Each structure stands twice: as structure tokens, then as C-alpha cells.
């Protein structure tokens, strides 16, 4: 089941009748102890009666050679679950590639923050067995699709789960942007940049720029300026189904970033369009998972409270 443009995020807490059979294991292979952690998890999943395959780049970079390997397209065709070990950045990179296949994903947190990789590495032996047997909460997260247009031609295209960010160049001053929403002029804005963030990305760069935290079930985006020249330029929440167009009016060396993992250079007159992607991300959580628990833990709210 995939999220539509009008239903970007929904949680369904329930026990599902069928268990998983073939799981792909994907890891952040740059991290310390990754070989040990991934190999231990692979052995554990095998002991649960699952067929286990390692994503090809993960296997090559960790040296784990005693399990079959699959590329991302093969995961989409052959596997009914992906377990991702790492931080949110790892999940973002993998999620964009797997979203179109509709493969559900479980995140095991090997990083520090972990808003969408919510199972602690040391807890997976207790948490995963009921999930693998079909007892989990499912959440559908909407994504964005962005294009860069130059003189009538699309010169770059990428999807994003967190955000699309237009930034000024490192050696230049502010950039000037013309912003339209659904073909309606909104503003000309001078700033260090502009962020279009999904609810998932509202706890990332947009939050640092003063934007609100948006619950993932809200069908909206945050449009947040980065250090605007005019302080009345404030973050605004837009409907999920809108199209945002950002035109580079003035500014040398501007760039567009997509989840801070892919980047392209921009020229004066370039237009960046952002709209809802056709596919979304399926995240699985342990039964009883709650977004507010995640916020409280990760943002250290009320640490002294009972």
C-alpha cells in the first residue's frame, strides 16, 4: 500500500496476518563495528527463519561474503522487507531508492539522532521477532519530487524525503529568489536560501531555520527561509498537493540540495519545481510506537519528568 498525494502519512497499528520471508539487510558501512553488527543481525534474522540477502554495496564494503547479495532493483523484485542499520541519513538514501518498489523498511539506529531509525541497535533481539511475525505499526511517509529547469529544459531531477534546499554560494552574499505556489506569485525574497521540507524533514534543517515541527500525519510542507533579509519573511505551512516554483533572480554559485545527499549548481534564471512524488516510504515500527515519544527522547524534552 502506497501513500497518495492526498494521504502522505498514515499509521496503521495492527497485527498483520502474514509474516515476512525474504529480508534485505542494508548498512552504513562507514561506521565502526559495522561488520560485526551487520553480520550478527544477518545471523539473527536467519535464525528467525528468514531468507537473508545483503545489499550489494553493503556486502562489498563490509567484506561479509556468506550471504547472497542483491542490488536495489532486485530488493524491489525479490524481498518483502528491508532492514536498514545506520542513522537517518542511511535511511534517507536507501528509502528514496526503494520507495517506488513499495518495500517496507525497518530502521535499526546505529547513529545518534534516529527520528526514522527508531529501534536501538542493542534492542533488536527483543524488538524484531514480533515485527517479523507480522505485529507492527505501519506508517506511510510522503516524498517530494524536484526538477531544475533551465531555458525550458529539465537539467536535473531528484526525489527527497526530508527537504529540497536552495542555498547561496559559499563566496557570495544573499541570493534573491522569486517564489510561486500553484502558479500564484508569493514573494521575492532575499536570504541565504530557502527550504521546502516534508513533515519528515521538519525536524532537520527546517527546524534549525526556525520552522515548526510538523506531525508526519499532516498533509503539508514547510517553506522556511534561511536567514532572510526581511524578518517578516516567516516559515509557512503549505498543502501537500501544491507545486512550489523557486526562481533564481540574483546570486552567484547557488545550489540545490536534495536531502543533503545530492546536489546541483544553479544559474540565474533557473527554476526549481517541487511537487508531491508518486511514491512514498513505508516505515514499520514496533506496536505502540508513538511520534511524541520519539520527539521527547531525541529532543530531550522534560528529561527530569516521570
Active site residue 71: no
CA distance 179 to 186: 5
The residues near 61 (Cβ < 8 Å, ≥ 6 apart) are 29, 30
User: Cα dihedral sign for 83, 85, 91, 95?
Assistant: negative
CB 88 within 8 A of CB 114: yes
Catalytic residue among 37, 88, 163, 270: 88
**Cell digits of residue 217:** 500525519
CA distance 68 to 53: 5
**Cell digits of residue 151:** 531555458
CA distance 23 to 5: 28
CA distance 84 to 74: 16
CB 286 within 8 A of CB 11: no
* Residues labelled as active-site residues: 88
Amino acid at each position: 500500500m502506497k501513500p497518495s498525494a492526498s494521504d502522505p502519512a498514515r499509521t496503521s497499528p495492527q497485527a498483520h496476518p502474514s509474516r515476512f520471508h525474504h529480508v534485505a539487510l542494508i548498512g552504513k558501512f562507514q561506521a565502526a563495528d559495522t561488520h560485526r553488527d551487520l553480520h550478527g543481525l544477518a545471523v539473527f534474522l536467519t535464525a528467525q527463519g528468514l531468507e537473508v540477502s545483503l545489499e550489494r554495496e553493503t556486502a562489498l564494503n563490509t567484506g561479509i561474503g556468506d550471504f547472497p547479495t542483491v542490488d536495489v532493483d532486485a530488493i524491489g523484485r525479490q524481498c518483502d522487507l528491508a532492514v536498514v542499520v545506520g542513522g537517518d541519513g542511511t535511511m534517507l538514501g536507501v528509502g528514496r531508492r526503494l520507495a517506488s518498489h513499495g518495500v517496507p523498511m525497518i530502521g535499526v539506529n546505529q547513529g545518534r539522532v534516529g527520528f526514522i531509525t527508531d529501534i536501538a541497535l542493542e534492542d533488536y533481539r527483543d524488538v524484531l521477532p514480533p515485527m517479523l511475525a507480522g505485529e507492527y505499526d505501519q506508517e506511510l511517509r510522503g516524498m517530494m519530487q524536484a526538477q531544475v529547469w533551465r531555458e525550458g529544459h529539465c537539467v536535473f531531477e531528484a526525489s527527497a524525503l526530508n527537504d529540497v534546499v536552495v542555498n547561496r554560494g559559499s563566496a557570495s552574499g544573499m541570493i534573491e529568489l522569486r517564489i510561486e505556489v500553484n502558479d500564484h506569485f508569493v514573494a521575492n525574497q532575499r536570504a541565504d536560501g530557502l527550504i521546502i521540507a516534508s513533515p519528515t524533514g521538519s525536524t532537520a534543517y527546517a527546524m534549525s531555520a526556525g520552522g515548526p515541527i510538523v506531525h508526519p500525519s499532516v498533509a503539508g510542507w514547510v517553506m522556511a527561509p534561511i536567514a532572510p533579509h526581511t524578518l517578516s519573511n516567516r516559515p509557512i505551512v503549505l498543502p501537500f498537493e501544491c507545486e512550489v516554483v523557486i526562481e533564481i533572480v540574483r546570486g552567484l554559485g547557488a545550489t540545490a540540495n536534495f536531502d543533503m545527499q545530492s546536489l546541483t549548481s544553479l544559474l540565474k534564471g533557473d527554476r526549481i519545481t517541487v511537487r508531491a512524488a508518486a511514491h512514498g516510504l513505508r516505515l514499520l515500527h514496533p506496536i505502540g510506537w508513538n511520534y511524541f515519544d520519539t520527539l521527547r527522547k531525541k529532543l530531550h524534552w522534560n528529561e527530569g519528568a516521570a
